[in-house]
Structure 1
């Protein structure tokens, strides 16, 4: 079975959202993972971050909680993250984490960690509009709101 064929039958569905009122600023993230046996919600915040960095941080933190070889379909509303995972990460890695414009990849520390998780797990990444995620999983939006509130209360 090819890696692509295995990904088509992924059991874990993972969704993420992030939010910053100021970009950069206090930024919160939340991830929701589920399969036919269990659900898992992870969340956190970063005192001074961008929305993209926050979502990458949340994704890395959440992926680390899954055992080796887990097949995951990751749903993200971030076009940047989806394209990074599906198209650019392999090339960036091969080119020493330098972009086609000869600049260092933004958030390279997190992309390197994602590359390690990508090797350890079987991940298929798909883009979905954030409003669709909110409609399918209102709990994700609620958790993000609570996490963001907690971050602001401590700031």
Structure 2
């Protein structure tokens, strides 16, 4: 989809883990203007957590998009959505510490995601997982299938 010269991207992301920690996978579904999907997925190296795979899905999506894309990201992870929309600025202001003065978990991935999101037009939206939304369900299926790779 395009808005003038600016591409519009609507994407659904998800992460999965077998055990937590354990082997993990991530999935991304990008909706195309003709109603079809573009899908990407991958797996972790070794033991990881579900939250890390959720973040990795977001990183993989943004790393593949043009910087000028108007992007709408849908995730069933409140960790990712609230992290990007509510918590990130406070973490940075507090030296990457939470309001409870603990070090932010997964800081390596948050730093990568923050760098990729910088100066981009991105809207982050939470969707209820396993609620029958086709693109969200497909992102979940891709993430789960990637766990066993």
Deviation at residue 148 of structure 1 after TM alignment = 2.2
1:143 match: 142
Aligned runs of 1:32-111 on 2, under 5 Å? Answer: 32-36=29-33, 39-46=37-44, 47-111=46-110
1:3 match: none
For structure 2, list consecutive stretches of 5 or more residues without a partner in the other structure.
Answer: none
**RMSD between aligned residues:** 2.1
CA distance in 2 between counterparts of 1:143 and 1:53 reads: 16
Residues 11 and 35, structure 1, Cα contact 8 Å, conserved in 2: no
1:153 match: none
1:124 aligns with 2:123: yes
Q: Aligned pair in 2 of structure 1 residues 81, 142: CA closer, same or farther (>3 Å)? A: closer
Residues 15 and 140, structure 2, Cα contact 8 Å, conserved in 1: no
Between Structure 1 and Structure 2, how many residues are aligned? 141
1:28 aligns with 2:25: yes
TM-score, structure 2 as length reference? 0.84
Secondary structure of the corresponding residue to residue 118 of structure 2: helix
CA distance in 2 between counterparts of 1:45 and 1:33 reads: 18
Residues 16 and 140, structure 2, Cα contact 8 Å, conserved in 1: no
Flag the structure with more relative contact order, 1 or 2, with Cα contacts below 8 A and sequence separation at least 6: 2
